[in-house]
Chain A
Amino acid sequence: MRYRAPPADALIAAHLDTLTAIFHRRSGITHLVTSPAPEILAALTHPLTQEELLARLARDYDLADPDGDALAARLDELVASGLVSIA
């Protein structure tokens, strides 16, 4: 199963502080997210499996202890919110 974020121009992100406001143009909904959601969305510009995504995040952000279960939970939340779809 592969996950995919909307094209970059479909979202507008405004980094506020620990929270990032993301406007989803297609739905007109504003989402308030915290790390690692913005990083996941940035990494999913191309469809990736959960394992590929974890490896990508571990590489890009130098994760000492990549946690697959935690990533799965965050992906489920992003899918439920409509910000990530299953390719």
Chain B
Amino acid sequence: MRHSHFLRIGPVGFRIGSDWRAPIAALAELYRDYPIPDVADYTVRLYASQPWRRWIRPSVMIGGDYMLPEAAPLPLAHGLLAAEMAMNLQLALGHRRHLLLHASVVERDGRALLMTGESGAGKSTLSALLAANGWRFMGDEFALLDPLTGSVHAFPRLISLKNESVAAAKTAWPKGRFGPLLAGTPKGDIRHLVPPADAIARMDDPATAALLLFPRHGAAADVRDVPPSEAFIRLTQASTNYVALGERGFDALTSLIRTIPARAIDYPDGDTAIRLVEDLWAQL
């Protein structure tokens, strides 16, 4: 590939290649504090569907070691999003070292809070807000659960903020480093936020899972217990590699479910969410 960049996020090394300079330049700037991997676990490629599409109405195809055949190309203006999506795709389809849970993770005192839910539930926003209130940010996309130890490993990629959550994050992180506004993407308007310095500096420090949360944004404040069977079902749905891991995945997930409490919270705004989380955390 004409342009490339290497970076490591937590235990995962990436080599990102591109037909265009701009997405690589954006990545290199936003990930400038991240280490270079000894070995790239996954290769990501951003390429033109036809040679002339490098120049004429350039559109970015997403590829790499693992590909989705039906993946639609993105305009070059959304090249950074394409790179982020491609890195997530490699992990989602190819990763076998950890049980992957689609969740955001924050940590305090060596203990991890896992927040999972469908897109729009507020996982990323909540993790960014908690990180501004004394928690260590460990990731907003994947919780990496080690099947051998049960530890949660950090995957602190750029925080992906959508639509109105950008303003909330800007208030919480007035000096935060934000990427360009990517307007009108398939997921709405997106801006990426570089994780806080301590999240990057400590990304090799795992944590012990302590609380599983199913947040839901937009309703009056409420907390309810989630029974283990419901948590199990929802986490199998939230895992991209549960089936692929077989017995290791089953053991890891059932151990997690039986070890830590699970709660669902509804929250109308960020301040309420933080209060609910702190209350639950204090009861552990």
Residues of A within 8 A of B (CB): 12, 14, 16-19, 21, 23, 25, 28, 30, 32
Please, how many angstroms separate the alpha-carbon atoms of A23 and B233 in the complex? 14
Q: Type the 1/0 row for B232-245, where 1 means its CB is closer than 8 Å to any CB of A.
A: 11001000000100
B229 touches A28 (CB 8 A): no
B250 touches A17 (CB 8 A): no
Shortest Cβ distance from A34 into chain B, in angstroms?
9
Taking A16-B254, A21-B250, A30-B250 as given, write out 9 further A-B residue pairs in contact, using a Cβ cutoff of 8 Å, ordered by the A residue number: A12-B250, A16-B229, A17-B227, A17-B229, A18-B229, A21-B232, A21-B254, A25-B247, A28-B243
Which of B233, B247, B251 lies in contact with A32, CB distance below 8 A?
A: B233
Shortest Cβ distance from A84 into chain B, in angstroms?
20
Report how many residues on chain B are interfacial, defined by Cβ distance under 8 Å.
Answer: 14
Q: Which residues of A contact B227 (CB under 8 A)?
A: 16-18
Instruction: State whether the Cβ of B258 lies closer than 8 Å to any Cβ in chain A.
Output: yes
B246 touches A17 (CB 8 A): no
Please, how many angstroms separate the alpha-carbon atoms of A18 and B232 in the complex? 12
Q: Type the 1/0 row for B242-284, where 1 means its CB is closer than 8 Å to any CB of A.
A: 0100110011001001100000000000000000000000000
Please, how many angstroms separate the alpha-carbon atoms of A16 and B228 in the complex? 6
Q: List 18 A-B contacts (CB under 8 A).
A: A12-B250, A12-B251, A14-B257, A14-B258, A16-B228, A16-B229, A16-B232, A16-B254, A17-B227, A21-B232, A21-B254, A23-B250, A28-B243, A28-B246, A30-B250, A32-B229, A32-B232, A32-B233
A17 touches B236 (CB 8 A): no
Main secondary structure of the interface of B (DSSP, over half): helix
Q: Type the 1/0 row for B213-242, where 1 means its CB is closer than 8 Å to any CB of A.
A: 000000000000001110011001000000
Q: Which residues of A contact B228 (CB under 8 A)?
A: 16-17
Main secondary structure of the interface of A (DSSP, over half): strand
Residues of B within 8 A of A (CB): 227-229, 232-233, 236, 243, 246-247, 250-251, 254, 257-258
Q: Which residues of A contact B258 (CB under 8 A)?
A: 14, 16
Top 3 A-B pairs ranked by shortest CB distance? A19-B229, A14-B254, A16-B228
Please, how many angstroms separate the alpha-carbon atoms of A83 and B128 in the complex? 45
Among B227, B232, B258: residue with most chain A CB under 10 A: B232
Q: Contacts A21-B254, A30-B236 hold; do A12 and B247 have CB atoms under 8 A apart? A: yes
Shortest Cβ distance from A44 into chain B, in angstroms?
22
Please, how many angstroms separate the alpha-carbon atoms of A78 and B243 in the complex? 21
Shortest Cβ distance from B101 into chain A, in angstroms?
15
Please, how many angstroms separate the alpha-carbon atoms of A23 and B250 in the complex? 7
Q: Which residue of A lies closest to B243 (CB)?
A: A28
B243 touches A16 (CB 8 A): no
Q: Which residues of B contact A19 (CB under 8 A)?
A: 229, 232
Q: Which residues of B contact A30 (CB under 8 A)?
A: 236, 250
Shortest Cβ distance from B248 into chain A, in angstroms?
10
Q: Which residue of B lies closest to A29 (CB)?
A: B243
Q: Which residues of A contact B229 (CB under 8 A)?
A: 16-19, 21, 32
B257 touches A16 (CB 8 A): yes
Shortest Cβ distance from A5 into chain B, in angstroms?
18
Q: Which residues of B contact A21 (CB under 8 A)?
A: 229, 232, 250, 254
Q: Which residues of A contact B236 (CB under 8 A)?
A: 30
Q: Which residues of B contact A25 (CB under 8 A)?
A: 247
Shortest Cβ distance from B271 into chain A, in angstroms?
33
Q: Which residue of B lies closest to A34 (CB)?
A: B229
Q: Which residues of A contact B251 (CB under 8 A)?
A: 12
